[in-house]
Amino acid sequence: MAVDPRQVLAGVLTVTMFVMLANMIKRDHFDSPPANHWGVPIGNYEGKTAEHNVVTLARESIGPWKKDRVDPKPCWTKPAAEDTRQSDGFVTFSLTNGPEYHVSQIADAVVVARYLGATLLLPDIRGNTPGDKRKFGDIYDVDKFVESLDGVVKVAENQPADILARNLAVVRIPNQVTEKHIAENVEPLFRSKGNVRLASYFPSVNMRKTDRTTNIDSVSCLAMFGTLELQAEVHEVVDSVIERLRTLSRKSGGQFVAVDMRVEVLEKEDCQGSGDSETKSCYSPEEVALFLRKIGFDKDTTIYVTQSRWDSSLDTLKDFFPKTYTKDGIIPMDKKEYLSSETSELEKVLDFHICSQSDIFVPAISGLFYANVAGKRIASGRTQILVPANVPNSASATDFISPYISKKNHLAYSCFC
């Protein structure tokens, strides 16, 4: 009995999605500096009572903000057009699971297409629910994408009618795919079928750089950091939220903290950790609140959390920092359509770019969101990323700079000097 390749593709995408989501929680942890214990007992706090249990800050203190920012320079040069060997085949793929995955999926697809000399088909964007599908141009700038890859890979915006299921090989590739893997596992299928459809999977959700140096490094750097920009309307929404946050942050010079804190992830059993600060995969609102206060942030600090709508579990954070906001509480009224149930992908995009542009980013959850926000921040010179930890009575914020920054072990440091 013949098997419909479209059913195979659907199955591969579904399995890949669940594997990636499982890895996000199970296979990555914060590499935080060791700490002895909480200086304040963790319990149920109500109202302002909690503030009496932490170190009192001087009235003039507005937090440990770092004002210097240096834009890094790319360490790569755009690959020359004459290096490309063009074939008649196509590489197709979809962007899935949010912008933190999009960055890596784009890089892998461009690397494969360049190696094969194939034309890259502009991807569609698919969410986690059936039917949640949109065009690339609904979120990203198509012209910027095509122009940035000019001379590197040829990009087609529409799928040719002659690409059918029978001449399209579906192949799974690991994130940060290597030339060896392409040569052994992708190229033979491409040569036999003429076209391939890629489905990326993530053996690990960290983005630490490796010691290897290959011919595809410059292609990968360009794809990750030089191709994806938001289309104008979405860009405007991000800018309007950031502008509002800066307006509310007058007492701290217009600076604000973005915290990746999603209740549905924090509630998962696998996210509770062992209690060991070195293996913890996420931190509760209470733990983040205590962490921020103990490293020097006062109650006037403005905090943006990636939780879409207010949840009672965030009340403790707001007790410490009254200027704590979710998207629902901060987005302009004429942009509320971006928070409807049908626009979950757009919500993720807003979070990703707001966290990438905040003055300080605090990842309460480990995983690819943290890793790829860190990469985008490194590329723009915004290196203030503070990883929560169990802090003694008080500590310096510099002790909790992300290892991606302090050790310069993020993949982005292979691309920027």
The token pair that represents 125 in the structure block: 């964007």
**Highest-scoring range by mean pLDDT, 15-24, 35-44, 159-168, 240-249:** 240-249
3-state secondary structure at position 124 = strand
Residue 50 is predicted with a pLDDT of 35
CA 176/CA 173 separation, integer angstroms: 9
Give φ, ψ of 82 to 5 degrees. -70, -10
**Total Cβ atoms within 10 A of residue 81:** 10
164 and 195 Cβ atoms separated by less than 8 Å: no
DSSP assignment of 13-55: HHHHHHHHHHHHHHS----PPP----SS------GGGGGGGSP
289 and 43 Cβ atoms separated by less than 8 Å: no
Residue 158 is predicted with a pLDDT of 86
**Total Cβ atoms within 10 A of residue 16:** 17
Q: How far is CA 272 from the centre of its chain?
A: 21
CA 280/CA 267 separation, integer angstroms: 14
In terms of Cβ atoms closer than 10 Å to its own Cβ (0-12, 13-18, 19+), residue 219 is: buried
Residue 36 is predicted with a pLDDT of 32
252 and 63 Cβ atoms separated by less than 8 Å: yes
At residue 271 the predicted structure's pLDDT band, cuts being 50, 70 and 90, is low
Q: Which helix (H) or strand (E) holds 156?
A: strand 155-156
Q: Among residues 246, 266, 261, 333, which one has the least CA distance to residue 292?
A: 261
Residue 214 is predicted with a pLDDT of 58
- Global pTM reads 0.82
Q: What residues have CB less than 8 Å from 15, skipping those under 6 apart?
A: none
The token pair that represents 417 in the structure block: 């000097």
Q: Which helix (H) or strand (E) holds 258?
A: strand 256-260
pLDDT tens sequence across 59-69: 333 457 776 56
Count helices and strands in the chain by DSSP H and E runs: 14, 11
DSSP assignment of 331-363: S-GGGGGGGSGGGHHHHHHHHHHHHHHSSEEEE
Q: How far is CA 346 from the centre of its chain?
A: 13
pLDDT(342) > 70: no
Please state the rounded mean pLDDT for residues 175-192.
94
pLDDT tens sequence across 305-334: 999 888 998 999 999 999 999 998 888 888
CA 371/CA 368 separation, integer angstroms: 5
Map tokens 């461009």 to a residue: 110
Residue 28 is predicted with a pLDDT of 52
Residue 63 is predicted with a pLDDT of 55
Give φ, ψ of 83 to 5 degrees. -80, -10
Output b/e per residue, 136-159; b: 16+ Cβ within 10 A. Answer: bebbbbbeebbebbeebbbbeeee
Residue 244 is predicted with a pLDDT of 94
Residue 335 is predicted with a pLDDT of 81
pLDDT tens sequence across 121-137: 999 999 877 777 899 99
**Highest-scoring range by mean pLDDT, 221-225, 308-312, 397-401:** 221-225
Give φ, ψ of 406 to 5 degrees. -65, -35
At residue 56 the predicted structure's pLDDT band, cuts being 50, 70 and 90, is very low
Q: Which residue has the higher pLDDT, 261 or 275?
A: 261
